[in-house]
Copies of this chain bind each other. A is one copy, B any other.
Amino acid sequence: MSASDPVRDAPLDNRTLREQVFDHLREEILSSRLEPGTELSEVALARSLGISRGPLREALGQLTAAGLVTIVPRRGAVVTRLTRQEFIDAYQVREALESLALRLAVPRLSVAEKAELHAMCEAMEREAAAGNTTRFFEINRDFHSLFVHASGNRKLEAVHAQLIAQMGRLMSKSAELRGGLQQSAAEHRAILEAIDAGDAELAARLLEEHIEVPQRVLHQPSARSIFEDQDDTDQPPDEEWRADG
């Protein structure tokens, strides 16, 4: 049971370079250590990782399919940069997915899971009061992921996870624009009370309103700041060189 337990270390060593690189880059992108728009040179990246270009290319290809990287066929790979419209679109899809998840999850939640939701809710209120946005959004993400997982629908969970990953760091940034952490925490509290009451319909409706808040804010010009140097006035409508459907 030591830290060098072979039954735990062996599978790590067994992991393919492609998998390691995929997870590594995925984490780098999600933590925004690699900012959107960053060009990913194969030779430079492979050298810095100490591997050859083969596994790296495969990892980049999978990241492309996951929507985190955009490959332009003979130009190279860049960290995907979301348009304001794409981000709003993703929010809408996320709302539909989580609404379904909550409806499914409410009758299935165990007491342990409910207790965990309560703990998260209190932690969010605590972090909101302390003004710790980073920690707040970590818990927020876990809160939403928990009932998506508890829905029992694996496909739903997979699609949701992929979408959340694509929305990436912009999610927490956009949420900073909303009414404030305290209000967000209160909304979670209201949802949780509906869950405790077993009212899936009410919980789902509250959730939809909860998710719609940042959506509305995103339409305002003040939201332009989080998209940084990004041109969202007009994008070429028929450019279909992105991932794949």
Contact = CB atoms under 8 A, between A and B. Distances in A.
Interface of A: 14-16, 18-19, 22, 26, 54, 57-58, 61-62, 64-66, 73-74, 85-86, 89-90, 92-93, 95-97, 99-100, 104, 153-156, 158-159, 161-163, 165-166, 243-245
A174 to B, nearest CB: 15
A24 to B, nearest CB: 13
A22 B244 contact: yes
Q: In terms of DSSP, what is the predominant structure of the interface of chain A?
A: helix
A62 B245 CA distance: 12
A66 B159 contact: no
Contacts of A245: 66, 158, 161-162, 165
Nearest to A244: B66
Given A57-B58, A58-B61, A62-B64, A89 B156 contact: yes
Contacts of A162: 244-245
A54 B56 CA distance: 12
A244 B16 CA distance: 14
Nearest to A99: B96
Nearest to A163: B159
A100 B212 CA distance: 14
27 contacts: A14-B73, A14-B74, A16-B73, A18-B61, A19-B73, A61-B61, A61-B65, A65-B65, A65-B66, A86-B154, A86-B155, A89-B153, A89-B154, A89-B155, A89-B156, A92-B156, A93-B97, A93-B100, A93-B156, A95-B100, A96-B96, A96-B97, A155-B163, A158-B245, A159-B159, A159-B163, A161-B245
Nearest to A243: B158
A139 B65 CA distance: 27
A93 B58 contact: no
Contacts of A244: 22, 26, 62, 66, 162
B57 A153 contact: no
A104 B89 CA distance: 11
Contacts of A97: 93, 96
Contacts of A159: 93, 159, 163
Contacts of A15: 73
A63 B245 CA distance: 12
